[in-house]
Structures are given as C-alpha cells and as structure tokens.
Structure 1
Amino acid sequence: MKNLFNALVIVLFAVLGLTLIWVILELQPPTHVHLSKQVLTQLDASGVTHPVTAVLLNFRGYDTLLEVMVLLLALLGVLAQIGKREQRNLSAWFRLSQPYLQVLLWLVRMIVPLMVLVAGYLLWVGGHQPGGAFQAGAVLAAAGVLLNLSGVLPSWAEPAWNLRTGLVFGLLVFLLVAAAVMVVASPGLLLQYPPASAGMLILLIEMGLTLSLGLILAGLFLFLSGDAIEDEAEK
C-alpha cells in the first residue's frame, strides 16, 4: 500500500512538472518595456525624487507591504521554533575570555550612537538619494547585534507587549495609510497616494518601517543568541 502511494505521488508530481514545462514553452515572448522611462515620467507624482524609493513605496507599494509581512512571518517562525526561555547575557562569557572588555565597551558606546545617527540619515535621505527604511532598519539591527555581542544587550526571550508592538508597528502604519488613502483619496484603489501628500505619507510609512525592520532583523539574531549561549555553557 505504501509503495502504491509513493508511486501515485511520483506520477502526480511528474504530471505537474510536465504541465508547467508545457505552459512555459507555450508562453509568448515578452515585449520589451522600458520600465525606467515609465518611472521617470511619473516621478513628479510619486512624492519623492529617487526612482527606487518611488517604485518601492508608491508604484509597487503592495510588493513592499508583502515583503514586510514575509520578514515578520520569518521571525514568528523563529519564535515558534525556539519556544520560551530566559534572557541570557553574553557579558559573563566576555569577562572570561576577553581581557580588553573595557576597551570594547568604550568602543561600542562610541559607535552605536553614530549608527543610530546614520540610520536616521538614511531614513531621511531615502526620498532623493539611495537610502530608506530597509537600509536604516538594517543599520539599527546591526547596532543591536553589536550591543548583544559586546554583552551590553541580553539575548531576547519571549517578547513582551512593547517589543511585540514595535515588531508590528511598521506594518500597522503601512496598512492604516493604505486603508485611509483607499477610503478618503482613492476609493477602491490600494496605495494610490494623492500627489500632494505622497511624500509625507511615504515618509510616515518609512519611519514606522525603520523601527519594525530594525527590531525584526535584530530579533532574527537576538532570539537565537540565547541558544548559542546555552550551547557554549554546556561545553
């Protein structure tokens, strides 16, 4: 019976694979479209002057919304996998193996505020130069990882309400802006910002995303670092 089931599964996937290959072969060759020219012609109505930001937060804002959801789901998957545990700190481990701990801590205290400043700059400059919420959030996440590795910030255990709020804050802002625009400015259209307020709405979304993306990306490390400490302690 088991062999019959395995054979049926193999046949099913073989038929599915052949069907997909046939569909791909029957597709008409795509016509060449100059997307960059289309973006540049509509850039004045986007609310920003940088084409990448215009695409990510305006013209293809729905894709960016889904990307944020995927990152949040990835972190939820990590939390579901590790379960509950206590907070652990790396500082004791550093005292045993790092003779230059004070120098390290001084350097971290100098660098981390600069990283926060750089994140704010990347957020602000994203409207007209390379930057934006994803870059700013990545810098904030790196600051959190650096604090954890230096023993200043403990690994994260089960997230409290304030951390949970921060993790979903950017997504909630994104959804609220989308809903408000769809009801007030563009009935029935998702993320179709009015040109007069597009820049302000994009900046509002990016501010929320910077916080949440920083926490999400940092959480992918900080929620797992406790397991690494436990493994190190067992050795």
Structure 2
Amino acid sequence: MDRNRWLLPLLLMLFVGLGYAVLSIPEPVEGLPKMLVDNMELGGVSNPVTAVLLNFRGYDTLLEMGVLLVALLGVWSLGGMPDYHESSPGLVLDIMSRQLVPVLIIVAGYLLWVGADAPGGAFQAGALLGAAGVLLLLCGWRIGNKCSGLPLRILIVLGLGMFVMAGTGLLLIEGEFLQYPPPVASELILIIEAAATLSIGTTLAAMFLGSRPGEADK
C-alpha cells in the first residue's frame, strides 16, 4: 500500500516532464539534409542513413548500444535462469526452424553488407539474428554451460566495446572521437557494424530467456 501511494505522484511527474519535453522541442534546422549530401564523400558510405548513424551522429548509436546493454543487465538482475524442462517443439515448429534459421542468418549477413549503400545495417541485421536465436530457443535449444559465461558476455559487449575502442583510437591518433578519416572510414564502419550486429542479435536472444544464464561449470 505504501508503494501504491507514491505511484500516482510519480506518474504525474513523468507526464509533466514528458509534456514539457515535447512542447520544448525546437524547430527543425533548415539545411541539414543539404549539409549531409554535401559531406557524403567524407562519411565512408553512400547510404545517408548509415552515414548519419555511424559517422555524423555516432554518439547516438554508441548510446543506443549502451541502452541495449543496460536493458539486458536489468533483465539479468532479476535473478538466475529458471529451471528448463525439455519438451518437444512440435513437428511444424521444428521443420520451420530448420528452414528459417539459415535464411535469417544469410539475410542478416546481406543486410549488414549492403547497409553501406542501401537500406540495412547493424540494427536490422542484429534483429534478424535475434529472431533466429529466439526461434532456436522456442525449439528447445539452450546455451551450454561452456558458452554461457565469458563467451556470451564477450559477444554482448563486443559492439559497444568496438565502438569505444575505435573512438578512443581515433581520439589518440586524429584528435577527434568517432571522426573517421575518409581513406579508412568505410572499413572502420564495416568492422563496427559487424561487431554491433553480433552484439545486438545476442542481446535480443538473451533477453528472451528472461534471466541470466547459469555460470559455467567450474
């Protein structure tokens, strides 16, 4: 009852804060699309969306990777993974998974590769990898003890870690954080997006479990 007494004031404060944020949004700045087009040759990619997400507004994408990691840590903080009782996925789901999972992985790789020149990229590819993982989990597949410890955590932090390492390296070499030199911009973006794809897919699939997988056997 004591908690419920504070629920309404908190919701009202949240409503007021969101209303203030919406009403105080500034007017769109004229000329930003033209500035993007004029500087596309410096972005390392020809797809304007990828150029904005990975180059011109790399900080936003870096924080988005951080938000995914924090969300997963919040899920894991709820406790250990509940006991799993193996059951048959059924003939339809089993056949569908065998056909769809390879297709999802191939399409994810294609979206990652084509993202530099057309709609696609790490988040779309990662979402497909996450869907493939969820489908496998629905079919009864579970992470082995040897993979649920350090290997799983490396995959989860790989995208954010690669972002930070690339930005720090550029800061030390070029003096600018996440400002890719044009000669190597496309290669750096591809490396960061590949790492982000693996992290996003792993994170989304891990969230589906609902709790943290058990520690590896000692």
The answer as to whether partners of 1:87 and 1:156 remain within 8 angstroms in 2 is no
Which residue among 65, 75, 78 is the counterpart of 2:72? 75
- Cα distance between partner residues in 1 of 2:121 and 2:151: 24
Compared CA separation, residues 146 and 43, structure 1 to 2 (3 A): same
The answer as to whether partners of 1:137 and 1:213 remain within 8 angstroms in 2 is yes
Where do residues 40-119 of structure 1 align in structure 2 (5 Å cutoff)?
Answer: 40-81=37-78, 83-85=79-81, 88=84, 91-92=86-87, 94=89, 98=90, 101=91, 103-119=92-108
1:33 equivalenced with 2:30 (yes/no): yes
- Cα distance between partner residues in 2 of 1:31 and 1:123: 30
Runs (5+) with no aligned partner, structure 1? 1-5, 227-235
1:232 paired residue number: none
**Percentage identity across paired residues of the two chains:** 45
1:230 paired residue number: none
- Cα distance between partner residues in 2 of 1:131 and 1:31: 26
- Cα distance between partner residues in 2 of 1:28 and 1:202: 31
Where do residues 1-235 of structure 1 align in structure 2 (5 Å cutoff)?
Answer: 30=27, 32-81=29-78, 83-85=79-81, 88=84, 91-92=86-87, 94=89, 98=90, 101=91, 103-151=92-140, 153-154=141-142, 159-184=148-173, 186-187=174-175, 189-224=176-211
- Cα distance between partner residues in 1 of 2:153 and 2:164: 17
TM-score (norm 2): 0.81
Deviation of residue 34 (structure 1)? 2.5
Deviation of residue 225 (structure 1)? 11
Which has the greater radius of gyration? Answer: 1
* CA deviation vs aligned residue, 1:17-61 (integer Å, no higher than 9, x gap): 79x96x998x79647413211111110110000000000000000
- Cα distance between partner residues in 2 of 1:28 and 1:221: 35
Kindly indicate which of the two structures has a greater share of residues assigned to helix. 1
* CA deviation vs aligned residue, 1:94-131 (integer Å, no higher than 9, x gap): 4xxx4xx2x43233112111110000000000000000
Count of aligned residue pairs for this structure pair: 200
RMSD, aligned α-carbons: 3.1
Structure 1 runs (4+) greater than 6 angstroms displaced:
155-158
Letter in 2 for 1:204: I
- Cα distance between partner residues in 1 of 2:117 and 2:28: 31
- Cα distance between partner residues in 2 of 1:169 and 1:39: 29
